[in-house]
Chains A and B, each alone.
Chain A
Amino acid sequence: MMKKNDHKKSWIALLIAVAVLVVVGLLDNLPGKIVPSMLLTVLQKGAIYALVAVSMNLLNGFTGLFSLGQAGFMLLGAYTYAVLTVPVARQASVYQRYPGGGLGFSITESLSGAMGQFGLLLGVILCLILAGCVAGLFAWLIGLPVLKLKSDYLAIATLGFAEILRAVVQYDKLGPVTNGSNLLYGFTGFTDFHLGSLKLTTVMPFFFAGLCILVVVLLINSTYGRAFKAIRDDEVAAEAMGINLAKHKRMSFMISSFFAGVSGALLAMFQASVQATAFKAAMTYEILLIVVIGGIGSISGSVIASFLFVGCSEWWLRFLDNETILQNFGVKVKFAVVLGILVVAAAALGLWNMKRKGKKLIIRAAQGRPTVNWGPVLGLGLVLAALLWDVWFVISPNLKLPLLRSGFRMVVFSVVIMIVVLFFREGIMGDKELWDLGKKKRSAKAKAGAGNE
């Protein structure tokens, strides 16, 4: 019975996966300009960020180890992949500052030369695995001293190691391999994949990231995953059950780094170039943001949040970084009206939520003076101020939109994470998964049934 149900579930999951790949493939190949190219960018980068967010969640959300080294392991993966796949003919120009640099061979080039597209796929898979293995190996080395630390100390140490890795890769003496602080480019990317005349540029990141996330999901639901969660909940009790703490923490750290390495390699394929300066702590911060918004301890949350985040940062919130001057007074009025409606809607939503929870602005006690609920009152004050400002904006002669300038996007993101941490600590999914949502309803029904007996 149980077995049969499981089979059914895996078939459904497979069908959904195939459907997603087909849809993405269609978006890739629709003629003309129907599909905005930004959508494809968001889909590709979103899939890659989903993988690295899931890998971070495995460590932070499921094993309870707070590590901030993700960018460092991505860097290792990206460089390993790039170094192994720069075509021989292009190595002279890529490594122009280091004459004789480069490996003198390219795995993907040799394999695709021998077996065409299949060889290319094989080569890329091989190099992705190698990229993950290098990251995993370094995780093992770093883990030896670092995993003895707990919580914040572990975070600080891993952050430090990531920064060290970034510096080491740019070291001049390693130039013949890593090209020092210069770009690595020309290696195999997603655009090299096609079936006949069908483009597979967006399908490939979905395929690779999806496969890796599937492995993580299977791992989390296995005996090992249960052991990780036990360590997260109570180390002492887990140890008393015979779970070897050191071994399992190391395993989780290495697996997480392995997938961070793979996602780093995928990011290199997506960008078609690699430079160490991109893998800063800010990148880890972005990934942490995704994990927190999605819900710490939820794989599907990380995936959803990753697409949302990439969509916002690359596309929907881009305008925040551009200085904008409105064409005329009419456009300004329209803008002000829309802004006003948004502010009023937000306030109404907040008030409705308060009513639902039975909270009041001013709490009248039976005795004594009534107390003021300062949080919402302050919020209403802000709303009022925003509306007043809106009116002033319409009256004033200035046509330039205030605040919008380079860097404002990051300010908005920072405000968003503050709001999430303060008011929606659970994130989008909490520690639930998409596929648990149905189950919860069922078990609630079962409980209600049991209560009636």
Chain B
Amino acid sequence: MLKIDNLKVSYGGIHALRGISMEVPDGKIVTLIGANGAGKSTTLRTITGLVKADSGSIQWNGSELLGRSIDHIISQGIALSPEGRRVFADLTVLENLKIGAYLRRNKAEIEKDLNWVYELFPRLKERSWQLAGTLSGGEQQMLAVGRALMSRPKLMMLDEPSLGLAPLVVQDIFKIIQEINKLGVTVLLIEQNANMALKIADLAYVLETGNITLSGTGAELLTNEKVKEAYLGKRKD
């Protein structure tokens, strides 16, 4: 279980997170919704260690992650599929996936997981020798997810996987997220597409200007008036 307690992060005087506390229980899909600049990406980047926190704590199965190196955090079973996909454009699909397993040394296990990712995304297998930069947006997102899976994570963090994708492709991606979750991987999902995210989430948090203002199950927040108004685009009559 991931437990964040009173986490504060600032970028040179600008407070991005003003003391948030949240939990990500094992085996669940947890989503974090909020407007642009609310601090969603900062939260994920702080968990991975890409951003240094001012204070607070991030506990992963009882051990503190704050202050540890990125490679340590990732080797503990946490993976990040970053915002905007960020696949390695000049490397082949296969090379991209192998870099996902960069910190692992057991070749047989890596080979096994490669086949597993290819099963999840048959499209990637077809294109395994193609350069990642030549893939379509949806395929690149699949590659970003597959690459993160190659580190064999217990907690998978996805930063806006629906960004810039056609609605049908978004549905595919969300289906796969649920599929991955059923295999026992905990998912922490950030989304602008609050409607889709809340539908599949077991637990959800609303982030506003660096504070968590609401939390509850996905279904609860879907019917919450405030959420409806601010994020689901339904006006009160």
Using a CB–CB distance below 8 Å, which chain A residues touch chain B? 223, 226-227, 229-230, 232-234, 236-244, 297, 431, 443, 450
Contact = CB atoms under 8 A, between A and B. Distances in A.
29 contacts: A226-B95, A226-B98, A232-B90, A233-B88, A233-B90, A234-B88, A234-B89, A236-B50, A236-B82, A236-B86, A237-B86, A237-B88, A238-B99, A239-B70, A240-B74, A240-B80, A240-B82, A241-B74, A241-B99, A241-B100, A241-B102, A241-B103, A242-B70, A242-B74, A242-B102, A243-B102, A431-B90, A443-B129, A450-B126
Contacts of B90: 229, 232-233, 297, 431
Contacts of A233: 88-91
Contacts of B42: none
Nearest to A237: B86
Given A236-B50, A239-B50, A240-B48, A230 B91 contact: yes
Nearest to B159: A240
B99 A227 contact: yes
A195 to B, nearest CB: 42
A297 B98 CA distance: 20
Interface centre among B95, B100, B102, B147 (most CB of A within 10 A): B102
B192 interface: no
Contacts of A232: 90
Contacts of A241: 74, 99-100, 102-103, 147, 151
Contacts of B103: 241-242
Contacts of A227: 99, 102
Interface centre among A230, A431, A443 (most CB of B within 10 A): A230
A240 B70 contact: yes
B71 interface: yes
A279 to B, nearest CB: 32
Contacts of B126: 450
Given A226-B95, A229-B90, A443-B129, 14 more contacts: A223-B102, A229-B91, A233-B89, A234-B89, A236-B82, A237-B82, A237-B88, A238-B88, A241-B99, A241-B102, A241-B151, A242-B74, A242-B102, A297-B90
Counting contact residues on chain B (CB < 8 A from A), the size range is 20 to 34
A67 to B, nearest CB: 19
B99 A243 contact: yes
B75 interface: yes
B87 interface: yes
Contacts of A243: 71, 99, 102
Nearest to A442: B129
A302 to B, nearest CB: 17
A101 B71 CA distance: 50
A227 B91 CA distance: 11
A223 B70 CA distance: 18
Interface in B53-74: 69-71, 74
Interface string B173-213: 00000000000000000000000000000000000000000
Contacts of A443: 129
Nearest to B100: A241
Interface in B38-58: 48, 50
Given A239-B50, A240-B70, A242-B70, A234 B102 contact: no
Contact of A226 (B69, B74, B75, B99): B99
Contacts of A230: 88, 91, 99, 102
A244 B71 CA distance: 7
A190 B113 CA distance: 51
A241 to B, nearest CB: 5
Contacts of B50: 236, 239-240
A10 B106 CA distance: 24
Nearest to B69: A244
A239 to B, nearest CB: 6
Contacts of A242: 70-71, 74-75, 102-103, 151
A238 B99 CA distance: 8
Nearest to B45: A240
